[in-house]
Amino acid sequence: MHLLFIQLAVCAQTGVGDYRSGFEKKGNAVFFSNEHADVRIEFCTESMLRIRTSWTRHFEENEPWMVVKYEWPEVPVSAKETADAFLLETGRLKLTIQKSPFSINIFSSDDQLLASETLPGAGGAYKEGDAVFCRKQMGADEHFFGFGERMDFTDQRGKQVSLNVGRGTGRPHIIGAYNVLKANYCPVPFFMSTRGYGVFLHNSFASEWDMGASQPGAYSFRAENGELDYYFIYGPGFPAILNRYTDLTGKAPLMPLFALGLHVGTYSGG
């Protein structure tokens, strides 16, 4: 008799934990050392900030492919500490950062809630094996647009979005993509919310975005590997969000006039 033993590796989720020490402001960056991970918040402008979490307590070097601008003028930031929280404020954003557990809540300057990690159960940043992810509160009237080239839905509220180049799995290739609802030739880890903000995940690994599909009242984004590094961009209008996003990633060149005329193709036998 031959016995086959299969070892199942169960990867537990590790959050950031409680704040421990290290609260410090250097230039546009604010640092926090927590129970399981370090967090670094960088203010790019009064309306845009970068949030990074490292469970190794080492942050990766900046790269030149996804983001083209890392140097920003000094941003006036008011930083205060209370018994239970840290309060960071620019002219346009207010951050309330709870110490236990460490969680980030972002408001507009007029105290309108934009994004919160205060959730029933578990919100905020987590690591699971090599994967990293973040879970945030989803507003009852909040809707999401973006993610690059999509062939499924315009509004992704209540949807599961996979960002990785491919045609998806499904029926054999007859016409169009293998699975038109999963086809993704140009994934972009960026969305804009009707609450007036955008999120850009600065991570090139394949990612999964659960926009309230599995947990009503919450959305999450998860990368297979790498650092949990994302930008929060306040508009509040979509044109302003998009303009600030392209400040980060680069402006698209204007197409020549001849490219704006009639297009004729033979895809799918048309």
| Confidence check: pLDDT of 154 > 80 | yes
Distance between CA 5 and CA 243 in Å, rounded?
55
The two three-digit tokens of residue 206, written as one number:
């394949």
d(CA 190, CA 152): 16
pLDDT in tens, 228-263: 999 999 999 999 999 999 999 999 898 898 888 887
Which residues are registered as beta bridge partners of 49?
Answer: 43, 232
- 136, with CB counted inside 10 A (0-12, 13-18, 19+), is buried
In angstroms, the CA 251 to CA 6 distance is 51
Dig out the tokens for 201 from the structure.
């995940």
Q: Tell me how far apart the alpha carbons of residues 248 and 7 are, in angstroms, rounded to a whole number.
A: 44
Rg from Cα positions in the chain: 21
Q: What is the pLDDT of residues 34-76, one digit of tens each?
A: 999 999 999 999 999 999 999 999 999 999 999 999 999 999 9
Model pLDDT, residue 170? 63
To the question of domain 13-132+190-205+219-250 being in CATH 2.60.40.1760, the answer is yes
